[in-house]
Chains A and B, each alone.
Chain A
Amino acid sequence: MADRGGRGGGGCCPPLDLMRSEPMHLVQIIIPMESAHLTVSYLGDIGLVQFKDLNADKSPFQRTYANQIKRCGEMARKLRFFREQMLKASISPSTTPMTRNNIDFDDLEIKLGELETELVEVNANSEKLQRTYNELLEYKLVLHKAGEFFHSARNDAAAQHRDTEARQVGDASLDSPLLLEQEMQTDPSKQIKLGFISGLVPKEKSMAFERILFRATRGNLFLKQVPIDDPVKDPVSGEKIAKNVFVIFYSGERAKTKILKICEAFGANRYPFMDDVGKQLLMIDEVSAKIQELKTTIDVGLLHRDNLLKNIGYQFELWYHLVRTEKSVYHTLNMLSLDVTKKCLVAEGWSPVFAANQIQDVLQRATFDSKSQVGSIFQVLHTRESPPTYFRTNKFTSAFQEIVDAYGVAKYQEANPGVYSIITFPFLFAVMFGDWGHGLCLLAVTLFLIFREKKLSSQKLGDIMEMVFGGRYLILMMAIFSIYTGLIYNEFFSVPFEIFGPSAYACRDASCRDATIDGLIKVRRTYPFGLDPTWHGSRSELPFLNSLKMKMSILIGVAQMNLGIVMSYFNGRFFRNAVNIWFQFIPQLIFLNSLFGYLSLLIIVKWCTGATADLYHVMIYMFLSPTDDLGENQLFPGQKTLQLVLLLLAFISVPWMLLPKPFLLKKQHEQRHQGQAYARLQTTDNGSLEEQDHDSHHHEEFEFSEVFVHQLIHTIEFVLGAVSNTASYLRLWALSLAHSELSSVFYDKVLLLAWGFNNVIILIVGLIVFIFATVGVLLVMETLSAFLHALRLHWVEFMNKFYEGDGYKFSPFSFALLAEEDE
């Protein structure tokens, strides 16, 4: 950490933006009690300090500002209650621009309390009224339905009565059964007075209700149920339920008590009902009038509540924001430690070095604004702790940095793979997604997102949409590179075009007989840009493309892995770690290039000379029998000697990677121990104090075996990884082949087939299928899979060459971030 000043490219160039995380320092701020609140809230505005919790051992209740936090929590609860109420009444809080700091916190607390009581009261009243109203509605229904029932029953009874009388008068023939008369004549004189109960029971319970009643009274009852057409609101729960109106006739007091109990158990509401028709009508009128009256009362109540909520809605966001920031300020204040004199608070935290002036300005402003007698004290502390990692990204680079951070947050000031990922990630994606038609579609989508950026960023989007929107610049780069690689692959929805001049191939003679057997011959110079269009659809297309794309994958892979190893050199130089450069970077570079660098060289030489050598054979026998003659597989003179040298280098570089580093580390450790003994005797000026601190950190036991095993694992991983990682790059070949094959299948087997029928309807159907297949499979699924494979190639194959990624992210106390989190 002593060489923070040595950042950048060796003095010749300025430091590369984004390559290293911002230099940070641990600062201590001593704030007088009276200006503490204002100071912290000002610091929250600039959002450049990450406070350390200095009271980690205290429980939340023991802290200085526990009481205020409780108050804030209470206010937040009230506000949430208001929001719920507004949601119920479908009133949205207005999104007027906020004007801050003209509300006093205490006033707000009182105001919120008052509003809550009022709202609760209004709600309770309206609930009571609503309940009465629902009861009356039910009563009215009972009156109607039961009235109908009684009416029809009475009519029946009267008809029957007339019938019997007529019969009695009419015929007293011998045929008539004797008992009938008796039966009929029970009526008027011996009639017992039956009691009845009427009410409403929920429809789904009605069957059980009936059964229980029947059992309880042993069948001595008569139950009549009529379903209601529309579900009614239950007075108790306020929910809409389908119900049945029932009337129960019973005899005897005991039966009545039983029935009443059962009604209660089933939640059946009972309503009094008059036998008399006149009274019934009177009752109905009365109930209707009451309902009218209640309705107006309820409406007035609702209007009042809506007005209240609307008033809250005007300022809701403002209040909510205030309470939230206030709570976070107190939360932060709780992390500060109280001075012995109890007159100041001591804050410690990380902040970027560039922010020091800004923070001091803010501190001064806070002191001035709070009219404090004493200013805050700002000082930088020296520490052994590793600072947090902070990259200043913008809207363009943030998506790329996210990709890197998803793997692991960079160690403090470690070389950031995000810099190169900005280009290499979309490039590798495009190698797998090469089709300029598809690239144009992607470009259209992402341009739409970018042009409506302002509008879209303010509104809430769905989960997936949010993700796509967040990565819009990433997708833009992916689209641009896909258009480029599409032009190289010469594919536009899998159709080739002769854009860059005529094809280099033609028939051997005028008759063109051999074209389908021996093939065409090259008559002109090579097609200048990308694949020759003649390849498309030919029988030898696939063998040629396979060979080309496989070799391309290896070349690109070796190039990217070399870039990764070079990055480890930059890290070694930046951290002044000569051991890593000499005993890790150099042997790694030699090992990779003596095997796969050589393979790349062979590929290029073979292309340039047009030789027919078998590269597999060369590579395999380079290991199996390196001294044998290459024979016809020789590509250039001296190849055998070169191979022997390379093989030797590769074999040397393995122990070179493995052995010296642990021993050197041990030696360094011992030296430091001795050095420390001397350092103690030196004068204790600031610099050497820091140095001592630095050293005592390493004072812990040096476990040689552990370091050695660690290095062994590293070496094995690299040596095996060199092979497996190179093989892993072949996914570029596989995916790009899959993409071009799929798109040509959709084009040939759907669009051209439909075209061949010469029928408009079939053509339209074919076109629709083609569009859906292109969008669904090629644009969505293929994009996703190519994205994931590019991600893997960066995370594993590229980043494991140099990236440690064991840092932690800088998370400053910031009101702006607070708002984002909340959403």
Chain B
Amino acid sequence: MGFWVTSLIFLLAGVIGALSLRLCCNRGPSTNLLHFTLVITATVCCWMMWAIVYLAQMYPLIVPILNEGE
């Protein structure tokens, strides 16, 4: 799975999360917008973390060097 595919999965997860929250607890437009904001923020945070770690390993400048003992 490449970078874009997984990013798409994150996006989908965000959309599904936002939709399900909208369907499960519909409490007026203001609260729904708050829920939406929270889901989007959470998705962005999680995606960013994943993307950073993924990109850092894409072209490794240093590679794992095993310990002597192992």
Binding site for B on A (CB under 8 A): 13-19, 419-420, 422-424, 427, 431, 484-485, 488, 504-505, 515-522, 525-532, 534-535, 537-541, 543-544, 547-548, 551-552, 555-556, 559, 604, 607-610, 612
Contacts and interface: CB of A to CB of B under 8 A. Distances in A.
Contacts of A608: 55, 58-59
Given A610-B58, A610-B59, A517 B34 contact: no
Interface in B24-65: 29-34, 37-38, 41-42, 45-46, 48-50, 52-65
A519 B63 contact: yes
B20 interface: no
A424 B48 CA distance: 12
Contacts of A519: 62-66
A234 B61 CA distance: 86
A16 B50 CA distance: 28
B65 A538 contact: yes
A525 B2 contact: yes
Given A607-B55, A607-B58, A612-B61, A516 B67 contact: yes
A534 B67 CA distance: 11
Contacts of B50: 488, 529-530
Contacts of A19: 34
A419 B37 contact: yes
Chain B interface: which size bin? 35 or more
Given A427-B42, A552-B56, A556-B48, 13 more contacts: A17-B33, A419-B34, A505-B63, A516-B68, A526-B58, A531-B57, A538-B65, A539-B67, A540-B65, A548-B53, A556-B52, A559-B48, A609-B59
Contacts of A535: 64
Contacts of A531: 53, 57
Contact of B33 (A16, A527, A529): A16
Contacts of A423: 38, 41-42, 45
Interface of B: 1-2, 6, 29-34, 37-38, 41-42, 45-46, 48-50, 52-68, 70
A541 B66 contact: no
B62 to A, nearest CB: 5
A545 B60 CA distance: 12
A14 B33 contact: yes
A528 B61 contact: no
A544 B65 contact: no
A427 B59 CA distance: 27
A616 to B, nearest CB: 15
B62 A543 contact: yes
B58 A427 contact: no
Contacts of B65: 515-520, 538-540
B52 A552 contact: yes
A99 B70 CA distance: 74
A556 B31 CA distance: 27
A538 B62 CA distance: 11
B55 A540 contact: no
